């Protein structure tokens, strides 16, 4: 695949809006309402934590917001633009330039340094590893990895690997960040560090961040907390969402 050298969109403060989003699946005779008329607005500089048990629709919602999977109804807007109706090419540009994605598994390439792992996204945008490294190195230093830039992925701790993933996600200064269980494999101290980093970067950069998590500690770092149950939002907080 040839590197994308298209001009990056103008960077503006984000506003992420879900408007009556619906996504249903049929399994045999049963209809699963993964997302069932969900509406939510996340303003620039705000981090929203979303809780929900397995199967509550969290991952489906993130895939829709990432323009990976289309909804059955409703829209997802970023600065007023419907990202659910983008062409395949524009959806790829949206994910590259506008969206930052952080998942639970730190999917780093073995045998490759922390610097080059973080540089993958800017490399796809610029087509130059030299420029990509120059872009991401200051961010890695700000995330506390300045002394680990030349260390290969397999020599990094779990917390360090996750910070490389955060650097990769933020490398092109996105407007929107989607974080899917980013602390699922971390201990309490590393989890706290990730939440602090996400909150700081969200507020400083004016990001609209949606954090899907099972970690109740996220509530103390998020600007708003919601529960997702049966495809619908509630404001009952993490206790209800995580109850057996």
Helices 158-170 and 129-142 cross at an angle (nearest 10°) of 120
| Total number of domains in the chain | 1
Answer for the pair 25, 32: CB distance below 8 angstroms, yes or no.
yes
- Give which of 218, 96, 104, 110 is closest to 168, Cα–Cα: 96
What span, in angstroms and rounded, lies between the C-alpha atoms of 154 and 113? 9
- CATH number assigned to the domain comprising residue 181: 3.40.50.300
* pLDDT tens digits, one per residue of 56-112: 788 899 999 999 999 999 999 998 899 999 999 999 999 999 999 998 777 899 999
Q: Which domain holds residue 43?
A: 16-110+173-242
Looking at the domain assignment, is residue 180 inside a domain? yes
How many helices (DSSP H) and strands (DSSP E) are in the chain? 8, 10
Looking at the domain assignment, is residue 224 inside a domain? yes
Looking at the domain assignment, is residue 37 inside a domain? yes
Looking at the domain assignment, is residue 90 inside a domain? yes
Answer for the pair 186, 218: CB distance below 8 angstroms, yes or no.
no
Looking at the domain assignment, is residue 236 inside a domain? yes
* pLDDT tens digits, one per residue of 13-71: 568 999 999 999 888 888 888 899 999 999 999 999 998 777 778 889 999 999 999 99
Looking at the domain assignment, is residue 79 inside a domain? yes
pLDDT of residue 14: 61
Of 60 and 184, the one with more pLDDT: 60
């Amino acid at each position: 695949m040839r590197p994308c050298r298209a001009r990056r969109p103008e960077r503006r403060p984000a506003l992420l809006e879900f408007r009556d989003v619906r996504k249903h699946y049929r399994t045999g005779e049963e209809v699963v309402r993964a997302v069932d008329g969900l509406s939510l607005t996340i303003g620039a500089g705000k981090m929203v934590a979303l809780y929900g048990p397995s199967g509550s629709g969290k991952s489906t919602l993130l895939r829709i917001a990432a323009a990976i999977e289309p909804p059955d109804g409703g829209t997802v807007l970023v600065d007023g633009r419907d990202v659910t109706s983008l062409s395949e090419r524009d959806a790829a540009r949206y994910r590259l330039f506008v969206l930052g994605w952080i998942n639970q598994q730190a999917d780093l390439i073995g045998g490759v340094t922390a610097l080059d792992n973080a540089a993958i996204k800017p490399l796809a945008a610029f087509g130059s590893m030299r420029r990509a490294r120059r872009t991401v190195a200051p961010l890695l230093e700000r995330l506390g990895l300045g002394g680990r830039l030349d260390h290969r992925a397999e020599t990094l701790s779990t917390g360090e690997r996750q910070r490389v993933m955060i650097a990769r996600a933020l490398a092109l200064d996105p407007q929107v960040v989607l974080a899917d269980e980013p602390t699922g494999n971390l201990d309490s101290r590393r989890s706290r560090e990730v939440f602090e980093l996400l909150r700081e970067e969200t507020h400083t950069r004016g990001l609209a961040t949606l954090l899907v998590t099972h970690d109740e500690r996220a509530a103390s770092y998020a600007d708003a907390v919601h529960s997702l149950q049966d495809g619908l939002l509630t404001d009952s907080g993490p206790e209800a969402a995580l109850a057996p």
